[in-house]
Structure 1
């Protein structure tokens, strides 16, 4: 009988030691007359492409893997964004290798938007929606 009680106590101690983490968050949209001035920047695009390669398990590259290899290319070229990235995926068995190539670019000359900038932004949005 003592062995059964001891066994039950031991099993309850073992199972009660699990750790569960959770978090909650609330957000609230701000309504009212708050206005901000749009900020634009120049984009300096390098003429030479940069590439980076990453090995991973599996046959399909997730968005996380693509973002990681883009990050490696950006780190290599000290850039802010990769323009026109293209991906090559090579698979051998369960191992794969992804290579990204693109034009590295950096932002500079941050400034408040002018009326001319706003017109260019509107034209870009219209062109983009026409392709859709």
Structure 2
């Protein structure tokens, strides 16, 4: 009888031990972006330019993001910061906050955005990303002119060297056919 009771207790203990070892994993993925994929078309596409109307008043908007950060993520963030780079994890948080801010202010873009990232003071597992900047919208779309092309070459240069110091001259071959 004692032997049977011992075996029963051992099996019960083993069952409880094994069932409590099961781990629960939660994976959540959410993404928000204003521009995800550029359309690829065959043929020639006419270059287009637009004016950007920027609000003169700087705005501030905070976004709460639920995050689960592992020890590996923290090491990745620290390593990127130590190497003068931005972690892809942090970049993802910034992109999400920027997209929500632009959507909230009905903007196409944010000019000179600055970010502040901090843990939520009362909610565990939540980050508060605050975006400060100037909302902007694009307007007056039109096909570019030769003057536009020359200005682009003046400021951004031509080719791989990025010669931005030189004025466009007649001996330079234009990369734009107008």
Query: Is the structural similarity TM-score above 0.5?
Result: yes
Q: Secondary structure at the match of 1:123?
A: helix
Structure 2 unaligned spans of 5+? 1-39, 78-88, 165-178
* TM-score, with structure 1 as normaliser: 0.62
Within the alignment, does 1:102 sit opposite 2:117 as a pair? no
Within the alignment, does 1:50 sit opposite 2:59 as a pair? yes
* TM-score, with structure 2 as normaliser: 0.47
Give the equivalent residue in structure 1 for 2:96. 68
Residue correspondences, number: 100
Give the equivalent residue in structure 1 for 2:173. none
Q: Distance in 2 between matches of 1:50 and 1:114?
A: 34
Q: Secondary structure at the match of 1:62?
A: helix
Higher relative contact order (CA 8 A, sep 6+): 1
Give the equivalent residue in structure 2 for 1:88. 116
Give the structure with the higher percent strand.
1
Structure 1 unaligned spans of 5+? 1-27
Give the equivalent residue in structure 2 for 1:77. 105
Instruction: State the Cα distance separating 1:43 from its structure 2 match.
Output: 0.6
